[in-house]
Amino acid sequence: MEDKRKNKQLKLRLSQEDVDYIKNKAEQLGYRTVSAFVIDSARNHFKVEIDMSVYRELTKEINYIGKNINSLVRRINTDGFYSDTDIDFINHNQQKIINLMNKEYDRLLNLKKKMTSDQMTLKDKKKLIESFMKVEVDIPKKIVLEEVYEKIKDDVIYICEIIGKSPSKNEGLDDYILDYINGKTLFELDDKKLIDFSNELFIYTQKLKFKLVKLDNQFTDDDWYELKDILDEYEID
């Protein structure tokens, strides 16, 4: 009768690159032998299939609610006052976002996914979720760029509104900004520079909002020169 406990060899056809990778990985994780690492990896391996459409829909819902909040905040900054109804609206919509996130966390905790592993304990599930949270999941480029362009658009609209309401004479400035935004620059910047531009414009807009808290809506030459420096930095010849 064959002794099943007797050591046997398993032949694998691997490239030298794969062999070096496995050896280095085993050493990094503290395994004494490559065999121990491979066996442990096989025993603890499982496959998870995640339906990313769930997260796309969740992103759309949260973005929609966030835009409603941003629109109200922009109106408050422009008009210079707010009511109890406005505060209730913001609190209500913030709670909606929290509820959506809690609901999705519960869904993850229940692991409504198709898995090829043996049944897992609740402790194992919690560890799995913690692992998901630590891993950076690639977000589709289209979603990222849509959000960046949307933020740039909102900031430009706010700036143009302030210029239009400013008591000082600023004829043509809003047209200049709109021509810049509608030109080729934003659509020819690489992704990193586009995000950098969006970040700088966002910071500038927030500084402008704080400056205008005194409610005189005065868009000064210094404000324009600071904005012009940002636009010039990213303009494509």
pLDDT digits (tens, 9 = 90+) for 143-187: 567 778 888 888 888 888 888 888 776 677 878 888 888 888 888
Beta-carbon neighbour count of residue 148 at 10 Å? 17
Better-predicted residue by pLDDT, 113 or 141: 141
**pTM of the prediction?**
0.43
pLDDT at residue 138, rounded to an integer: 46
**154 and 221 assigned to the same domain:** yes
The domain in which residue 105 lies consists of 49-134
User: pLDDT category, 35, cuts 50, 70, 90?
Assistant: confident
Is residue 155 a part of any domain in this protein?
Answer: yes
Of 95, 112, 134, the one marking the end of a domain is: 134
* CB count in 10 Å sphere of residue 186: 19
Query: Considering the chain, what is the average pLDDT of its residues?
Result: 76
Residues 180 and 100 in one domain: no
Query: Does residue 88 sit within a domain?
Result: yes
DSSP letter, residue 48: E
Residues 152 and 82 in one domain: no
Does residue 101 surpass a pLDDT of 70?
yes
Number of domains in the chain: 3
Residue 74 has pLDDT above 60, yes or no: yes
Name the band, by pLDDT with cuts 50, 70 and 90, for residue 134. low
Of 89, 110, 134, the position where a domain reaches its end is 134
d(CA 64, CA 120): 36
* Cα pseudo-dihedral 108, 111, 113, 119, rounded to 10: 160
Encode pLDDT of 200-221 as tens digits: 998 998 888 887 766 566 788 8
Same domain, 164 and 97: no
Helices (H), 135-190: 141-165, 173-182, 185-188
Local structure of residue 70 (DSSP, 8 states): H
